Amino acid sequence: MGFTDTRFNVNLSILFTELPLLERPAAARAAGFTAVELWWPWVDAPVPEQAELAALRTALNDAGTQLVGLNFYAGQLPGPDRGALSVPGEESEKFRANVPVAVEFGRSLGCTSFNALYGNRVEGVPAAEQDALALENLAFAARAVAEVGGTLLIEALNAPESPNCPIVSAPKAIEVVDAVNAATGLDNARFLMDLYHLSMNGEDLDEVIDRYTPKTAHVQIADNPGRGAPGTGSLDLAALLARLTKAGYDGWTGLEYKPGDGPSAGAFAWLPAPLRAART
């Protein structure tokens, strides 16, 4: 169990970033991975030119990599100023404009998992007003995702690195998941369980896994401290992934860690090559 029973994919927005975007799918495939995920690649363009979308689609297809997860527009990532859907004005408008574009792009590649990052608290705007806007926009996204048989993911970040984000615990993220499902009646909102963020929040990861795996549709990992590859910190990620498997999780686990000082291709020594390709 552990690594041997886990389906891994690589996040091309944090790994292989030493390469241009269109070269990353081939680099991931050369490292042995056949499944990838992405943050929204165009941080200043929620609705990019069709030629840019087509070029990325071609790069993914030509490399033989399957897109299994995609973030909706959320501004500049990584960093503390992230998220758009609960920010009144231009940012939330960008999010709503992005949703149909991202869903169609994902659909064209067989991707049905879409991550919607909550926005930071904004000065001068009541929290209740932001939360109402967030629920409205999340319901909008859930309905769009439902049209392609997809899942809307809600992720908890961590308070030390994102102090202005209100979703910084597993229970809070689950609260949002339940609210979206109640608002739409679609039951297609699920938890994105990022073990790095949850560990940074000081949560009991065993308890989170045991309690929330039934509502989890995607997992992401990085070691803590440092957000590096497994084995660079103190988390027993093999045991945690084995616990997830025992709890019934059989979805994708995204590698969302920093590669260190060297090229990203050298950041996978912890994972034997036969375990990198997608398995059914």
Which are the catalytic amino acids?
A: 155, 256
Are 120 and 83 in contact by the 8 Å Cβ rule? The answer is yes
Cβ distance 221 to 255 under 8 Å?
Answer: yes
> What does the alpha-carbon distance between residue 270 and residue 21 come to, in Å, rounded to a whole number?
25
Mention every residue, 6+ apart, whose C-beta is less than 8 A from residue 117.
71, 72, 74, 77, 82, 83, 84, 85, 155, 157
C-alpha 255/C-alpha 275 separation (Å) is 13
Q: How far is CA 36 from CA 14, 102, 173, in A?
A: 11, 16, 24
Q: Is the peptide bond before 225 cis (omega within 30 degrees of 0)?
A: yes
